[in-house]
Amino acid sequence: MSETAPTRREFLAASTASVFVPGLRAETRPNILWLSCEDLSPDLGCYGDTYAHTPNLDRLAREGALYRYAFSTYPVCAPSRSSIITAMWPASIGTHHMRSQGVPPPFVKCFTEYLRAAGYYCTNNVKTDYNFPAPLTAWDECSNRAHYRNRRKGQPFFAVFNNTVTHESQIRAEPAVFAKQTARLKPEERHDPAKAVLPPYYPDTPVVRRDWANYYDLITALDYWIGDWLKQLEEEGLAENTVVFFWSDHGRGLPRAKRWPYDSGCRVPLIIRWPGQIKPGTVREELVSLMDLGPTVLSIAGVEIPSWMQGRAFLGPQAAPPREYVFNARDRMDEAYDMMRAVRDRRYRYIRNYQACKPYAQYIDYMEQMPTMREMRRLNKEGKLVGPQRNFFLPEKPPEELYDTFEDPHEVNNLAGSPAHREVLERMRRVLDDFMKQSGDLGLIPEPELQERMRPGGVWQTTARPVIEPAGGRFRGPVEVRLSCPTEGASIAWTTEPGEKAHWELYARPIRLEQSARLRAKACRLGWHDSPEVEAEFHIGA
């Protein structure tokens, strides 16, 4: 390799100089910042929750738009996040079982590749959990050190920062861990369990109230983190040209919420601030699915949305008409198999239980660690649960469920047998049937059979080596290098940096080499192993 290898910045300038959409200069494109969290329902002051203490999130809502009806596709992290990164229904692409390591069809890619190809610097600090390994091509940086500050001067960024403080595991954390997580809270900001307003499906005991108060303390800790980010954007002069998204991957991490396709498990907070484009204090009431986030980011960035995506943009020049329905589901959760499909419009939720012979409260070891879950099991065994509290422990589920969320926000009064709601029931049935057919829902295929289809014999496929053309050599002047891969749907990453810590670029167009370099390349496909690395030496000049 030449003693004067080009720097990463020089290569970036050559490889991204002409990738922007015509008519949009790079410096005028908005930055986009995702502040994501985990296991959080819209339990915030700006959503009308008087028990919550969330001044920074309330401020963000005042400065942007609050979405009242935003929903995850699945009420658990990995399937939900697979839909966010691909803009696809998980049961369409084989990522619907929890931590299943699915193999999406070859045309499916992480939406961030389209941003990178358009010149955005994309960072993730640092949550993936996509139900398939995060490909090398998805992010410029993906680590606990990833930051938009590492981008090229003038380059727009898309950055994700994920906070885990509200995760289910933190509600039941050891006292020392919980104290550390909530160390910034003032005494008056801590939530009194006696003042908690519990959903009717929980028994009213000190144990349950303590979990509920802990959850809200963690929300306030999250709110401090949001405040830090808002301050940082202002101090760095980025606030006016950065679109800020705040969202959670699914609903609160408590029993009968997380893992269940009710509002408690799927309805999430979504707040977006876009200075100059969204009127401050806006309240939006259209239905939004989290698989719409990626297409919306592409729309805001001026990047064409691929036609294969099932998600749809709800902001920007490519915004689609509002959704009439959103869809949610439950499949295998850890070691427990189940299958539920749900559809919701603005008012009603319809659920179909494909395994109605099983109880709601199947044993899931991780879920059983929650004190509230243990308390509910104890009281059920003693025959002390009353009213809606008993429903979760019925030996079987009803085949169908229908809820009027306006009149019954906690979804405890099943109207599936109500003559007065027969028309609604039949309409929602049809909508769900049509969606499952159109989306190619794979839920009815047993998981072992599905895995055999995706990985025959249990063997992971390996992406083919990329081809470098020309394959190196000596050149008098600049050379244009093209990369290709025979594997259908493969993406290619390349670098001229040595070692394991090299920064890998996404190959989106021919690479112009003006100085001698050793070019390295790998190919990736979702759900496959990366290819072996290939390299070629280019000597340029006399």
CA distance 479 to 470: 9
Assigned token pair, 317? 């020049």
For the chain, what is the radius of gyration of the CA atoms? 25
User: What is residue 71's predicted lDDT score, i.e. its pLDDT?
Assistant: 99
pLDDT, average across residues 127-143: 98
CB 178 within 8 A of CB 216: no
Identify the CA nearest to 412 among candidates 391, 383, 386: 391
305-336 residue pLDDT tens: 999 999 999 999 999 999 999 999 999 999 99
248-305 residue pLDDT tens: 999 999 999 999 999 999 999 999 999 999 999 999 999 999 999 999 999 999 999 9
Q: Which residues are catalytic?
A: 77
* CB-based contacts of 12, cutoff 8 Å, min separation 6: 152, 155, 505
Detail the DSSP E strand segments found in 214-325: 242-248, 267-273, 282-289
Which single residue is written with the structure tokens 């499949």?
Answer: 331
Residue 26 confidence class, pLDDT cut points 50, 70, 90: low
CB 503 within 8 A of CB 140: yes
What strands, in cross-sheet order, belong to the sheet with 467-469?
A: 467-469, 479-484, 511-513
Residue 13 confidence class, pLDDT cut points 50, 70, 90: very low
pTM, to two decimals: 0.95
Which single residue is written with the structure tokens 């959503």?
Answer: 47
The per-residue pLDDT of the chain, averaged, comes to 95
CA distance 159 to 139: 9
Q: What is the DSSP letter of 260?
A: S
Looking at the predicted structure, is the pLDDT value of residue 200 above 60? Answer: yes
Q: What are phi and psi for residue 310, nearest 5 degrees?
A: -85, -25
Which residues are bridge partners to 282 per DSSP? Answer: 65
Among left, alpha and beta (phi > 0; psi -120 to 50; other), residue 326 is beta
CA distance 363 to 488: 41
CA distance 505 to 14: 12
pLDDT, average across residues 17-39: 71
Secondary structure of residue 180 in the 3-state scheme = helix
CB 163 within 8 A of CB 221: no
Looking at the predicted structure, is the pLDDT value of residue 18 above 80? Answer: no
Looking at the predicted structure, is the pLDDT value of residue 14 above 50? Answer: no
User: What is residue 443's predicted lDDT score, i.e. its pLDDT?
Assistant: 98
Assigned token pair, 399? 């085949």
Identify the CA nearest to 95 among candidates 138, 128, 136: 128
H helix or E strand, kind and range, residue 520: strand 517-524
CB 91 within 8 A of CB 443: yes
Of 2-16, 22-36, 171-185, 283-297, least confident by mean pLDDT is 2-16
User: What is residue 191's predicted lDDT score, i.e. its pLDDT?
Assistant: 98
pLDDT, average across residues 13-38: 65
212-258 residue pLDDT tens: 999 999 999 999 999 999 999 999 999 999 999 999 999 999 999 99
* CB-based contacts of 325, cutoff 8 Å, min separation 6: 287, 343, 344, 345, 431, 435
Share of the chain above pLDDT 90, in %: 95
369-412 residue pLDDT tens: 999 999 999 999 999 999 999 999 999 999 999 999 999 999 99
Secondary structure of residue 540 in the 3-state scheme = strand
Which residues are bridge partners to 163 per DSSP? Answer: 37
CB 104 within 8 A of CB 95: yes
User: What is residue 28's predicted lDDT score, i.e. its pLDDT?
Assistant: 78
CA distance 36 to 33: 9
pLDDT, average across residues 155-160: 98
User: What is residue 9's predicted lDDT score, i.e. its pLDDT?
Assistant: 39
Looking at the predicted structure, is the pLDDT value of residue 525 above 80? Answer: yes
H helix or E strand, kind and range, residue 141: strand 141-142
